Amino acid sequence: MATIDDVAKLAGVSKGTVSNVFSKKRPIGPEATKRVFEAARQLGYYPNHIARSLAIRKTMIAGLRMPIPKEGMMSQFEIQMINGVLNECAKHGFRVLLDTLPEHDDPNQFTVDPVDGVIMLNPRREDLRIEMYRQIGMPLVLVGRPDPMDPGVSYVDNDNAELACEVGRYLLSIGHESILFLNASSDMTVAFDRERGLAAALAEQGMPLPPEQVMNYSRELHRSPTEYGYRAVLETMKSRSYTAVVADTDRVALGVLRAARELGLNVPDDLSVIALSNDARLAQEMTPPLTCVELSAEMLGAQAAQILMEKMENADVVRQHTVRAKLVFRESCKKRPR
């Protein structure tokens, strides 16, 4: 691979001159410019982005850390999210380094990536990575709020407590009082917020949300989100009978629907089901079409990217945006006769 040295030699100029011909950072005479381009053409020389990045400490690349399912497709949420990030970054001339590798927060494994800033999905509780990015001065924007809250870190998020609360109110308003909540994994801050929100809705009616009405997904226990929904309903419905279930995602709801069928329960007549995410495709294809919550993933992604661009200009800015979620009524929930 030809380097800047080879070109300089062949063109009879210094490396500095070659550098400036390509970067146009300072003017180079037409004679020299021509000789440089000609030499570069002859040698098949193209500037090395890595060497350049090391020297100028800038890559024009944004990092996107987001685990995706090993097998099977990304969810609609993930896709929309990526789309939002990609579009916003492209507008600013940025490319995106997609890091879907399993997360490690072993500090001795952490490395300073070839990016000018990073967007990180689903921070965990006490996520060590946040502190590491701070230490190296890497601009960071979370999708999902930090936990514990930190006035110094930027993020965009739905108001998960509020969203779950609305769902709770809705279910209560149509007569459901015994609700099973198939929540996300307990180490996710969304799980915590949503449980709190649902509890709040019940509290408004003077009702508790007992622990046995809330389950958490667990990668060890459940083979897949769908399996989680399926097993959870099958098992809990033995001992106790609920009239409504709030599923973490459409996929979980898919399992719930299957279990209901096996138990001879009609949805929505015997059981109302609602999901806290909206995979338009999945939700519409289900029988019945699933009532759920639109999280506006594309907006989340776009806003995260936009904030990141701001932070790269000025490291001091901190933005904490909330994107409003809204209920999408389809046919899986129904008023319960008293």
Among 12, 50, 104, 240, binds a second copy (CB under 8 A): 50
The torsion defined by the Cα of 142, 148, 149 and 150, in degrees rounded to 10, comes to -80
Q: Counting contacts by CB under 7 A, is residue 90 touching DNA?
A: no
# chain residues binding a second copy, by CB under 8 A: 54
- Dist CA 164 CA 30 (whole Å): 66
Q: Counting contacts by CB under 7 A, is residue 51 touching DNA?
A: yes
CA-CA distances (angstroms) from residue 47 to 16, 23, 39, 74, 92? 13, 9, 13, 35, 21
- How large is the C-alpha radius of gyration of the chain? 26
Q: Specify whether the CB–CB gap between 113 and 97 falls below 8 A.
A: yes
- Dist CA 177 CA 240 (whole Å): 13
The answer for residues whose C-beta is within 8 angstroms of residue 106's C-beta and 6 or more apart is: none
Which tokens belong to 291? 């009532």
Which CB sits closer to a second copy, 2 or 207? 2
Among 41, 42, 54, 223, binds DNA (CB under 7 A): 54
CB of 153 to DNA, least distance (A): 23
Residue 86's binding partner among DNA, a second copy, none (Cβ under 5 to 8 angstroms by kind) is: a second copy
Q: Counting contacts by CB under 8 A, is residue 328 touching a second copy?
A: no
Residue 3's binding partner among DNA, a second copy, none (Cβ under 5 to 8 angstroms by kind) is: DNA
Q: Counting contacts by CB under 7 A, is residue 4 touching DNA?
A: yes
Angle, in degrees to the nearest 10, between helices 4-11 and 30-43? 120
Which tokens belong to 35? 């000789």
In three-state secondary structure terms, 181 is strand
Among 12, 104, 135, 266, binds a second copy (CB under 8 A): 135
Q: Is 333 exposed, middle or buried (0-12, 13-18, 19+ CB in 10 A)?
A: buried
Q: Counting contacts by CB under 8 A, is residue 87 touching a second copy?
A: yes
Q: Specify whether the CB–CB gap between 172 and 333 falls below 8 A.
A: no
Q: Specify whether the CB–CB gap between 67 and 283 falls below 8 A.
A: no
CB of 3 to DNA, least distance (A): 4
Give the x-and-dash track for 241-280 against a second copy (CB under 8 A).
---------------------------------------x
CB of 89 to a second copy, least distance (A): 8
Residue 26's binding partner among a second copy, DNA, none (Cβ under 5 to 8 angstroms by kind) is: DNA
Binding stretches for DNA (CB under 7 A): 1, 3-5, 12-17, 19-20, 22-23, 25-29, 31-33, 45-48, 51-52, 54-57, 112
Binding stretches for a second copy (CB under 8 A): 1-2, 22, 37, 40-41, 44, 46-54, 59, 61, 68, 70-71, 73-74, 79-80, 82-83, 86-87, 90, 93, 95-101, 107-108, 110-114, 132, 135-137, 280-281, 284-285, 298
